[in-house]
Amino acid sequence: MLNIFARASVNRVTDPIGASLVRIGLTPNVVTVVGTLGAVVAALWLFPAGHLFAGTVVVTAFALFDLIDGAMARALGGGTRYGAVLDASCDRIADGALTSAIVWYAFAVADNRTLAAAALICLVAGQVISYVKARAEASGLSADGGVVERAERLIITLVGTGLSGLGVPYALHVALWVLAAGSVVTVTQRLLAVRRAAMEETA
């Protein structure tokens, strides 16, 4: 949902940055890979060590690279098909690493199985949300939308880790269970959207 309402405002900020990076010779694919590697390393290094606030700050910084590579692609007149596949694949890697790191934290540091269960639900559901869309599009159908797309998942997760790192009680628990519920709803919404699209084609 945030993609719809915030895209124009975000683009006004990121487009000049993207154009500047293109002028100095960088490519969107390089920025995509660097951002992903940074987010993965930061998540798997800092969160399992219990550094929730530091991890939140660093992962957020690298997550912003995902906005910049899109701005660079627009500055070049549009992205390539390979770039789109690379970007989507890197998003899945970064998301999986982030949630896996939180699962690791929940088991190894917090020693809280309830928190780990919520994180595991988020991990699986987040990947399924993206898979349903990709599989639907490969079949010529539409599966956009849902209450928690990637932007919402990142924001909810990182707000939870950040507040928890600052000592706010149960912030991560609340964030993950809200996200788990929203993710399950989103999977259902996308499957229903695919069903509607398929029925419209056969009508």
C-alpha span between 138 and 119 (Å, rounded): 29
Cα dihedral 100/102/107/108 (nearest 10): 100
Options 66, 91, 95, 111, the catalytic residue: 91
Map residue 95 onto helix, strand or coil: helix
Q: Strand ranges (DSSP E) for 11-106?
A: none
142 is written with which tokens?
Answer: 């539409």
Cα dihedral 6/139/127/97 (nearest 10): -80
The answer to whether 91 is a known catalytic residue is yes
Cβ proximity of 109 and 168 under 8 Å = no
Q: Strand ranges (DSSP E) for 76-203?
A: none
C-alpha span between 103 and 69 (Å, rounded): 29
182 is written with which tokens?
Answer: 């929203």
Which residues, in sequence order, are CB contacts of 181 under 8 Å at separation 6+? none
DSSP 8-class letter at 49: T
Catalytic residues: 91
